[in-house]
Amino acid sequence: MPLSPRNLRRSITAHARTAIIGGYPAVLRVNRKGAGERRTTLLSVWPARSGYDRDEYPPAVGRSTVDADVRYIRSRENRSAVAVIGHPHASYPGP
């Protein structure tokens, strides 16, 4: 699913585009195994902020290493992006 302002919040799209320009991949491969551990390790150095989520690009399920770009995004925006990206792709097979 392409990133576009029509199906994602502007801040999420901007974050992904900036991360891609910075060298992160534009095309992701589903890699569910170890995603939770990658996410936990990455976010452990980013303190939680009330009302915000720590948005990662690429998402843990779309990378094989801990490294990712992290930004604070309003929780409401980030969770709506999960509904657009995460839920429709939940049935995709991965290694």
Q: Which pLDDT belongs to residue 74?
A: 86
How many angstroms separate the CA atoms of 37 and 16, rounded? 21
Phi, psi of 54 (to 5 degrees): -95, 105
Half-sphere exposure of 85 (CA within 13 A, CB side): 25
Q: Which pLDDT belongs to residue 78?
A: 74
Residues with pLDDT less than 70, the chain = 1-8, 80-95
Identify the H or E element spanning 12: helix 10-21
Q: What is the pLDDT of residues 61-79, one digit of tens each?
A: 889 999 999 999 888 887 7
